[in-house]
Amino acid sequence: MLHRHFSRKGRRLLALAALGVGLLVAGCGPQYVVLHPVGPVGRQELSLMEFAAIAMAAVILIVFVLFGTAVVRFRDYKGNKNPYRPDFHDHRLLETLWIIVPAVILAIIAVPTVKTTYALAKLPAHTDPVTIDVTSLDWKWLFQYPNQKVATVNYAVIPTGKPVLFELTADSPMNTFWVPQLGGMEYTMPGRVLPLWLQANKAGVYWGHSGQFSGVGFEKMFFHVKAVTPTAFQRWASHTHATAAPMTMADYHRLLHFTVVGKQTYASYPKDTFPSVTHGFSLSGGMYLLVRNNPNRG
Amino acid sequence: MPSFVPYLIHTLFPPDTRQPTELGADFMILVSGAGIFFYLQHFKKWKWLWTEWLTTVDHKKIAVLYLVSAVAMLFRGGVDALMLRTNLALPNIQPIGAVEYNEVFTTHGTIMIFFMAMPFIFALFNAVVPLMIGSRDVAFPRLNAVSFWLFAFGALLLNISFVIGGSPNAGWTGYPPLTEIAFNPGPGESYYFMSLLIAGIGTTITGINFLVTIIRMRAPGMTLMRMPMFIWTTLCTAALIIFAFPPLTVALGLSLLDRTFGSSFFTLAHGGMPMMYVNLFWLFGHPEVYIVVLPAFGVFSEVVSTFSGKRLFGYTAMALSTVAIMFLAYGTWVHHFFTMGAGPSVNAFFGLSTMLIAIPTGIKIFNWIFTMWGGRIRMTVAMLYQLAFIPTFVIGGATGIMLAVIPADYQFHNSYFLVAHFHNVLIGGTLFGLMSGLYYWWPKMFGYKLNERQGTWAFWCFAIGFWVTFTPQYLLGLEGMTRRMYTYPLGFGWHELNVISTIGAFIMGAGFLILVYNIYYSLRFQDKDLTGDPWDGRTLEWALPSPVPEYNFARIPVVNDLDAFWVMKQQGVTLASSLRAEDVRELELPRNSGMPFILGLGFFIGGFGMVFEWWPIAIFGGLIVVGSLVFSAFDYNDRKHMPAEVIRQTEAGLGRLQA
Amino acid sequence: MSTPVVGESQHQIPLEFANEEESLKITGFWMFLMTDMIIFASLFAVFAVYRSRVAAGPTPDQLFHLGPVILETLLLLTSSFTIGMAVYYMRKDNLAAVYGWFIATIVLGAGFVITEVHDFVTYVHLGATWHVSGFLSGFFVLVGTHGSHVTFGIMWALTLLFQLRRRGLTDITRRKLFTFSLYWHFLDIVWVFIFTFVYLYGKF
């Protein structure tokens, strides 16, 4: 009975703490993009962050109370009445306690961590994702739509309410692809293609930036992801495919190195630009298969 | 021939190195160089410099050399940091442009880790490890000097890059393909690889040296479980160095081969694989984190025990957790790149192993707190750093756990949250530890205390400045600001926090100035410490006079317990009160040698030639290296005798010889 | 220098360990070998990853010819035996025999290096330089690092030969000869791994 009561009280405390952190998070202004996710990936990552933050706050609290007490009580001043015990240098129970308590707290964090890690690694079942091939170039982002056949530079359009599979590679030094409000980042690397799925449940324009330094134009590697309704997305894709100019190989080579450009739109793009073979590397095995076996590719 | 001079000027001083900051640095170097030259010339100090310092093999003097270089490098790295923070204070202001900013953040990181933290740690190792274990020297005194000169010339090579040829500019981690010749044609990255290679060899030798010293040269009676905690951490650090630096050497070497000799390891073309570098680098890089933090843990263990007037709480657990950290350090390197697509199973493994490290670290934190519990805490500067360290490091550790939560790391990675975290542990852990050690062991190294009042001021500047600088950076990470941007547009709401952070950085800068003044003032005005034991210490180094005579111990002590000197004092039989003339024997000490300096110089010349691919110079440097080694092989005259009478006189002069 | 302990303890401690100072150096040398071992381990790991990254260049199977490699193996393994004999006679204080076996070791080592360089030159003439592919980069650096270790070892052995001639067998030269033999055996073991994992595994 006592035990149940205690555990209910504990749960209530936890709920209260979660509420507190939630309020704090909501209280932070809209510029705290990581705290204001608009899709399931970002939201799951945020809730784990909050969970870990609460657990860590508990640890910090315990340590600070002990530490503060020790410093206040045992300072060396005249007339300190607290006992001076130079022989107090071992205590089996205490020492066991501070192995077990942190271990338990870590285990509590570890379980949802591992679960979410596996969950986020694959696309949600029974969905029909939109695939976008992303190549980081010096110093711009190239987005290619293998199904819609269109290409854009420094901005992407995605449908709301649907998972979007970004296939990331680089034809340049490494970068990371990060749209904070949609979810976490992933590296773009030459010679490899890494999958990352994100989803926006709310229409809007979300900014992204590279997180891995890539040279003198790195600061300019901002891009925008515009989330629109699925019908608007289809309309945009077919309209672009019909009206914009096609990307030629010469266009691609112009994009390749050491320039900063604005937003660009192309009706189509030449084959072999994703993953690019400009530098003559060959892709084989490993991570690449993970993406190439994706049945959703056109 | 006439075209030779313009070629030289263009290669050594390309337009990038003719900016105002570089010219300012040129000027500073010329002025201070000329100043030093005229000082040495005027006071006829050249011979003194050569015989007392450049050729010394005495671990105590080498400690001073390391310390001076570390403080100089702290200045350079700190000025870099202030330049970075100034550039970021407000959006779109650019006191220094992108090109220079990229060079400065690269040298800031490289210098702070390799040329500030490492030599600072080695300064403490050299200053006290042989004394603490009751030994007359390290195992290989001449190699010890070799280590220092390799470090010093490596540091020199990196530092001249700013004014000659251009600095590296791809971050302290130097990820390819950005460091490949196709994307980074100047000499900068070659400087980076070459200087770290040279310094890295020196570091590896230091690791070997201290490992052998501690394993083989402890005083009789000092069993493993009677070693002071600083010795435990030194032992584990040395072991970490031995296993961690070779992969770095390989990573740097392969990059250099790619750049200079056209191999295809990390290139985009020809089946190169940049991620291999990332793996090799962090296979070194993560243990490196513990290489720089474990010695700080050791310092804190000594300091907290001394200034609480208590034996270290849970000694056995402390020793074992140090060893546990040493082993676990090798199992976590992938957490530096969870977002490189290693797959959920690999990521989960490394996430969990990272969390596991928190347990031994937590044990240490609690043991330090309980060492204070029931003690009498004296608020010296060394202890203040310890007291600031515990809360700071706990928060740094907590954010570290948050980064180990893999899905959360996808949002934190390479953002300012990460920047704040590692500064939190590196400043709150390593730098505070080194400062604590500096104030604690300064009287042992130089024979007088640093002024405590000024030290307290410097401490508060560092502690407050630290929090003002880095708390906003955690929040900036949540606002989506990524690291290494040289400026940022208005409209993200980033500027307020950046201003605060910059103010904090300048508070820390003020702390550094006070520290330098503190050293200068104490050098001139502090009273000499005649006891050799100004803090009421517990370990063997305090049993010796300050500064310690060349031979360390006139008679090697016998150790019966942990805190050997404390026990001696309790029993009333210290080294000073029990040494009789007949105990003193003739000693053999290592003889000074110019070989280490020449060897380092050879590496420097060879490295410089490699950087600019001027092969005659590179080969000349190589020949100096080979020549020094051959000379050393035939040099059997590496010891000198110290007659017993000299030792007796020295000890009697210190009032330590019983009639 | 304290003289080595003679008498009964001689049966327990090999001569080269008898002097405390020199015995420390042997411990240090073991530590150095450990760091070198990790260098080779890293290079092996690099090679294992790059083995299949042949780009437009030859595969291991197309490139390697086992003939010279087996010759190299024989030379190096034999030299490991001869240095072992040198250390054996060093403990017996038989300087003349030490000379003989030591010089044999140097000659065999030189034969190894010459064969390996010849082999490399052949590859380069076929157009298989390390520029061509990741595999060739990994191969040349791994095997080349070993080869340069052997070359360095030969130079070291030559200086040691001069020291033996000038000073005979003392505490110091004994220790130096012993550490050299450790180094040489170590290179031999590394070569066994290279032979197996690089050449044999590449060929079959």
| Confidence band of A192 (pLDDT split at 50, 70, 90) | confident
Residues of C in contact with B246 (CB under 8 A): 35-36, 38-39, 41-42
Residue A178 maps to a domain = yes
Residues of C in contact with B204 (CB under 8 A): 35
Chain A: residue whose CA lies nearest to C133: A281
Contact B633 C160 (CB under 8 A): yes
Q: Strands A140-144 and A151-153, how do they pair? A: antiparallel
Residues of C in contact with A285 (CB under 8 A): 52
Residue B53 maps to a domain = yes
Residues A148 and A252 in one domain: yes
pLDDT attached to residue A2? 41
- Tell me how far CA of residue B630 lies from CA of A142, B341, C113, C152, in angstroms: 58, 49, 21, 12
ipTM of the complex: 0.93
Return left, alpha or beta for B592; rule: phi > 0 is left, psi -120 to 50 is alpha, else beta.
beta
A281 Cβ under 8 Å from any chain C Cβ: yes
pLDDT at A292 over 60: no
Residue A26 maps to a domain = no
Residues A53 and A99 in one domain: yes
Closest residue by Cα to residue A52 from B351, B356, B477, B402:
B402
The pTM (predicted TM-score) of the whole model is 0.93
pLDDT attached to residue A282? 40
CATH number at residue A47: 1.10.287
Over residues B555-600, the pLDDT tens digits come to 899 998 999 999 999 998 887 778 888 888 899 899 999 999 999 9
CATH number at residue B276: 1.20.210.10
Residue B17 maps to a domain = no
pLDDT attached to residue A127? 78
Residue B633 maps to a domain = no
pLDDT attached to residue A122? 83
Number of domains in chain B: 1
pLDDT attached to residue B483? 94
**C171-174: long-range contacts at Cβ-Cβ below 8 A with a sequence spacing of 24 or more?**
C171/C1, C171/C4, C171/C16, C171/C18, C171/C19, C171/C21, C171/C22, C172/B636, C172/C22, C174/C15, C174/C16, C174/C22, C174/C90
Over residues C23-36, the pLDDT tens digits come to 999 999 999 999 99
Number of domains in chain A: 2
pLDDT attached to residue B531? 87
Average pLDDT of the residues in C154-174: 93
pLDDT attached to residue A11? 63
Average pLDDT of the residues in C145-165: 95
- Cα B624 to Cα B598: distance, rounded to the nearest angstrom: 7
Structural domain of B530: 45-593+638-653
pLDDT at A8 over 80: no
pLDDT at C2 over 80: no
Residue C34 maps to a domain = no
Residue B608 maps to a domain = no
Burial status of residue B273 (CB atoms within 10 A of its CB: 0-12, 13-18, 19 or more): buried
Top residue of B104, B387, B482, B488 to mutate, by most chain A CBs within 10 Å, is B482
Structural domain of A165: 130-277+288-292
Residue B626 maps to a domain = no
Residue A14 maps to a domain = no
pLDDT attached to residue A5? 46
Structural domain of C169: 65-203
Of the two residues C9 and B76, the one the predictor is more confident about is B76
Residues A37 and A146 in one domain: no
Residue C51 maps to a domain = no
A31 Cβ under 8 Å from any chain C Cβ: no
| Confidence band of A290 (pLDDT split at 50, 70, 90) | very low
Q: Which chains touch C (3 or more CB pairs under 8 A)?
A: A, B
pLDDT at C7 over 70: no
Residues A176 and A96 in one domain: no
What is the number of helices (H) and of strands (E) in chain C? Answer: 7, 0
Residue B373 maps to a domain = yes
pLDDT attached to residue A165? 93
Number of domains in chain C: 1
pLDDT attached to residue A14? 64
Residue C181: HSE in the Cβ half-sphere, 13 Å Cα cutoff:
21
| Confidence band of A283 (pLDDT split at 50, 70, 90) | very low
Chain A: residue whose CA lies nearest to B344: A118
C24 Cβ under 8 Å from any chain B Cβ: yes
**Selected residues 195-214 of chain B with any CB under 8 Å from a CB in chain C:** 204, 207-209, 211-212
CATH number at residue A167: 2.60.40.420
CATH number at residue C124: 1.20.120.80
Nearest CB to A120 within list B269, B367, B407: B407
As given in the structure block, the two tokens for residue A205 are 């324009």
| Confidence band of C180 (pLDDT split at 50, 70, 90) | very high
Residue numbers in chain B where pLDDT is lower than 70: 1-2, 659
Q: Which residues touch C115 (CB under 8 Å, ≥6 apart)?
A: C68, C71, C72, C75
Residues A269 and A145 in one domain: yes
Coil/strand/helix, residue B191: helix
Maximum Cα interatomic distance, chain B, rounded to a whole number of Å: 80
Residue C86 maps to a domain = yes
For the ranges A15-29, A153-167, B280-294, which has the lowest average pLDDT? A15-29
Average pLDDT of the residues in A261-266: 94
pLDDT attached to residue B4? 82
> In Å, how far is A287's CA from the nearest CA of chain C?
14
pLDDT attached to residue B15? 78
Nearest CB to B140 within list C28, C156, C167: C28
- Cα C54 to Cα A280: distance, rounded to the nearest angstrom: 12
Determine the Cα angle at B347 with ends B345 and B352, to 5°: 100
Over residues B426-453, the pLDDT tens digits come to 999 999 999 999 999 999 999 999 999 9
Would you call the peptide bond into A102 cis, given omega within 30 degrees of 0 as the criterion?
A: no
| Confidence band of A271 (pLDDT split at 50, 70, 90) | confident
